[in-house]
A = this chain, B = another copy of it.
């Protein structure tokens, strides 16, 4: 059986890092059929839309999507629906990619790259699970209008709707509890039940779903406290799961805590196991085209793709071991470089992973 992969490099460093991941996938000699299409600003340039019909069709017809990154300051003045990030929002929505897995791992050799004191971060291995198709990201109604109540009736205002339905919360809760069963059986559900109706409901539903997982310990935590505890004692977390908006903030905070966001992959899955795989970092237009971007997050995203969507666990293991080997050999792109290690570029790093496989 051939697996069909949509390869969407996108903008900025996207092209460079995805090229390395493709190189790594090719060397594994798996039955993969990869097809590339433009997305984000790159797609806007050629097709007038960040997520052209053809790109979306390709994504829908594929078993998995290998995604680079989208975005560039130069599109900031476009109307919102044409901006690069609409491509990623559109893909999440169209494919129903509701379960976002964002591991925050601190690699042994990169402890020094963290802002945190080594003892607080060494050995960190958290799995953040973010709901990705609900919440205030997609809730209707939203827009601008004249306020009819509030502090300034009659004034112009803008508004958005936060919302979660029971089945949306249930399915992401199941994902979190099941993930915890494969780890240390501990889940932190992050909410703001003390202020928001949506997240009181979230807390209630999560508590109900938890009854089916008596072997997993569940803790509830407010989002402001979670933002603090991540800084204070990140290793106290194991699986942390939350809604789309809070997950956006906390997963980035946690990724940056590790000091090696250039190393962190992510997976966004739908109910059929179809998934979009992308690095946790962005398109970094400031360093694009210089051959210095770290391709490891994308290469590790390819490994996640093999594991989660293609059921190719052995091949995924081979990639992950190869990445550990190149780190152990002291190779570092500039973002993770430190005294005493060897500075390499994007391509050399990709070649090294290929060689290690």
**Is the C-beta of A255 less than 8 angstroms from some C-beta in chain B?**
yes
Residue in A168, A195, A199 whose Cβ sees the most chain B Cβ within 10 Å = A195
Partner of A158, one of B120, B201, B230: B201
| Known contacts A157-B163, A158-B200: A252-B224 contact under CB 8 Å | yes
Note all chain B residues with C-beta closer than 8 A to A162.
136, 159-162
Q: How far is the CB of A337 from chain B (nearest CB, A)?
A: 16
Note all chain B residues with C-beta closer than 8 A to A245.
192
Contact mask A82-121 → B, CB, 8 Å, 1/0? 0101000100000010000000000000000001110010
**Is the C-beta of A288 less than 8 angstroms from some C-beta in chain B?**
no
B140 touches A152 (CB 8 A): no
A250 touches B231 (CB 8 A): no
Contact mask A231-253 → B, CB, 8 Å, 1/0? 11000000000000110111011
**Is the C-beta of A134 less than 8 angstroms from some C-beta in chain B?**
yes
* A120 to B256 alpha-carbon distance, docked (Å): 14
A155 touches B160 (CB 8 A): no
Note all chain B residues with C-beta closer than 8 A to A115.
116-117, 120, 231-232
Q: How far is the CB of A160 from chain B (nearest CB, A)?
A: 4
Note all chain B residues with C-beta closer than 8 A to A149.
140
**Is the C-beta of A194 less than 8 angstroms from some C-beta in chain B?**
yes
A151 touches B168 (CB 8 A): yes
**Is the C-beta of A219 less than 8 angstroms from some C-beta in chain B?**
no
Partner of A196, one of B134, B136, B225, B256: B136
Q: Footprint of B on A, CB under 8 Å?
A: 80, 83, 85, 89, 96, 115-117, 120, 133-134, 136-140, 142-144, 147, 149-152, 155-168, 192, 194-202, 223-225, 227-228, 230-232, 245-246, 248-250, 252-253, 255-257, 261
